[in-house]
């Protein structure tokens, strides 16, 4: 395996890690506030469809992005309504949202475009174009650093850079702002937050809304940057891999980035080399597919450092009277 191949694999790692990272950070806000969200997958899927559909009709990828975020926010609102206002089971609500998205996207796609549940392919203007860094072309000849600069760092769409900037952003919000402190507190001990006179319901809705926005961007990235258009079930379990990454990272932003990059790398390797031959021992591609999930189970089992979720996670808050 030569240097250029490694660079290419890492380059596609970054591309594939981006939707995972956005969804993972989305889940991080929600779960840190005590709202479990297994509906990341559904929100991404809904956003992927609406961003592609609106981008295809209007020809503007930015309108598509807005539509994607809006549709994801609607599902977030539903999740909030079920799990915060009506104190329902957050997990069941997440399951319902995943199915709702899986069904509605195909239903609407078929009704609007009549192409068997997909949107028309997006052309220029309807997609996020790669951004080339200055001198990327000129520097590509420089050994080692040249390809790293021009292939690996340059040439991604703006959403990729946004996703990676969201990591320090999330860290800052969570650990350096009053909102972040309260958000973390409401996931650990909502009664204390309530006693301090801060609205538990308001904070949790805010967290769920942020989660919706990030899932919306993740979905839009899938349909308008990574690929050119929506196809049925295009999220293909990414929402669950993001969830796995979140647990792997123990609900912390920087670690979430590394976990997503690791899982992105696994996807990139599985995409490029089907079966891997390691000196006679062949690793079948299915092992690469299953590895993120296996790693997560191992982490959850606590054999490699225990993953402890936010204490109030999954519990609806009932105010004392």
Partner 1 sequence: MDKMPKWADVVLIPVISLILAAILSALVILGIGEDPVEAVNLMVTGALGSTYGWGYTLYYATNFMFTGLAVAVAFHARLFNIGGEGQAMLGGLGVAMVCLYVPWPHWSLALLGACAGAMIFGAAWAAIPAYLQAKRGSHIVITTIMFNFIAAAVLNYMLVNVMRPEGSMDPASERFPEAVHLPTLHELLAPIGISFSKAAPANISLLVAMLACVVVWALIWRTKLGYEIRAYGHSETGALYAGISPVKITMIAMLISGALAGLMATNNVMGEAERLVLNSTEGAGFIGIAVALMGRSHPFGVFLAAILFGFLYQGGAELALWTSIPRELIVVIQALVILFTGALDNMVRTPLEKMFLAMRKGKA
* 289 makes contact with partner 1 (CB under 8 A): yes
DSSP assignment of 6-27? HHHHHHHHHHHHHHHHHHHHHH
Look at the block and give the residue holding tokens 């109030």: 312
Query: Candidates 9-17, 218-226, 238-246, 257-265 — which segment interacts with partner 1 by CB under 8 A?
Result: 238-246
Give me the long-range contacts of 162-168 (CB less than 8 A, separation at least 24): 162/217, 163/18, 163/21, 163/22, 163/25, 163/217, 163/218, 163/221, 164/18, 164/21, 164/257, 166/21, 166/22, 166/25, 166/214, 167/21, 167/25, 167/253, 167/254, 167/256, 167/257, 168/253
CB of 38 to partner 1, least distance (A): 7
Asked if 318 touches partner 1 (CB under 8 A), the answer is no
Looking at 61, 229, 296, 312, which residue binds partner 1 (CB under 8 A)? 296
Q: With contacts defined by CB under 8 A, how many residues of the chain interact with partner 1?
A: 47
Q: With binding defined as CB under 8 A, does residue 59 bind partner 1?
A: no
- Which residues from 72-101 bind partner 1, rule CB under 8 A? 78, 81-83, 86-93, 95-100
Task: Answer for the pair 234, 124: CB distance below 8 angstroms, yes or no.
Answer: no
DSSP codes of every residue in 270-308: HHH-SSEEETTEEE-HHHHHHHHHHHHHHHHHTSSS---
CB closer to partner 1, 210 vs 243 = 243
- Candidate segments 133-141, 206-214, 236-244, 250-258, binder of partner 1 by CB under 8 A: 236-244
Burial code (b: 16+ CB inside 10 Å, e: under 16) for 42-64 equals bbbbbbbbbbbbbbbbeeebeeb
| Minimum separation from the CB atom of position 247 to partner 1 (A) | 6
Residue 240 in the binding site for partner 1 (CB under 8 A):
yes
Q: Does 244 bind partner 1 (CB under 8 A)?
A: yes
Q: Is 273 in the site for partner 1 (CB under 8 A)?
A: no
Q: In whole angstroms, what is the distance from residue 187 CA to residue 314 CA?
A: 9
Nearer to partner 1, 64 or 117 (CB): 117
Stretch that binds partner 1, among 44-52, 122-130, 252-260, 283-291 (CB under 8 A): 283-291
* Contact (Cβ atoms closer than 8 angstroms) between residue 160 and residue 18: yes
Stretch that binds partner 1, among 14-22, 162-170, 249-257, 282-290 (CB under 8 A): 282-290
| 248 in contact with partner 1 (CB under 8 A) | no
Question: Given candidates 74, 237, 258, 315, which one binds partner 1 under the rule CB under 8 A?
Answer: 237
Residues contributing to the site for partner 1 (CB under 8 A): 38, 78, 81-83, 86-93, 95-100, 102-104, 106-108, 110-111, 114, 117, 237, 240, 243-244, 247, 284, 286-287, 289-290, 293-294, 296-297, 300-302, 309
């Amino acid at each position: 395996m030569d240097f250029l191949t490694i660079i290419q694999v890492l380059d596609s790692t970054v591309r594939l890690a981006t939707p995972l990272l956005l969804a993972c950070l989305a889940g991080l806000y929600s779960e840190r506030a005590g709202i479990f969200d297994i509906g990341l997958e559904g929100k991404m899927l809904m956003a992927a469809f609406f961003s592609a559909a609106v981008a295809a009709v209007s020809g503007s990828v930015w309108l598509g992005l807005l539509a994607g975020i809006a549709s994801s926010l609607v599902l977030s609102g539903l999740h909030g309504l079920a799990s915060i206002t009506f104190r329902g089971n957050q997990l069941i609500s997440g399951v319902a949202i995943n199915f709702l998205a899986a069904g509605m996207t195909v239903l609407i796609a078929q009704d609007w475009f009549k192409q068997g549940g997909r949107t028309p392919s997006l052309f220029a203007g309807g997609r996020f174009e790669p951004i080339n860094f200055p001198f990327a072309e000129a520097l590509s000849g420089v050994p080692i650093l040249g390809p790293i600069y021009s292939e690996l760092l340059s040439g991604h769409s703006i959403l990729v850079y946004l996703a990676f900037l969201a990591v320090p952003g999330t860290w800052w919000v969570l650990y350096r702002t009053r909102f972040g402190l309260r958000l973390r507190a409401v996931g650990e001990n909502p009664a204390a937050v309530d006693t301090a006179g801060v609205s538990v319901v308001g904070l949790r809705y805010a967290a769920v809304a942020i989660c919706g926005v990030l899932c919306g961007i993740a979905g839009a990235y899938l349909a308008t940057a990574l690929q050119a258009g929506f196809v049925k079930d295009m999220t293909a379990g990414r929402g669950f891999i993001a969830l796995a990454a979140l647990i792997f990272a123990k609900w912390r932003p920087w670690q979430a980035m590394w976990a997503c990059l690791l899982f992105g790398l696994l996807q990139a390797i599985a995409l490029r080399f089907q079966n891997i031959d390691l000196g006679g021992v062949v690793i079948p591609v299915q092992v690469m597919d299953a590895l993120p999930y296996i790693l997560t189970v191992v982490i959850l089992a606590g054999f490699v450092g225990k993953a402890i979720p936010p204490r109030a996670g999954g519990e609806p808050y009932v105010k004392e009277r």
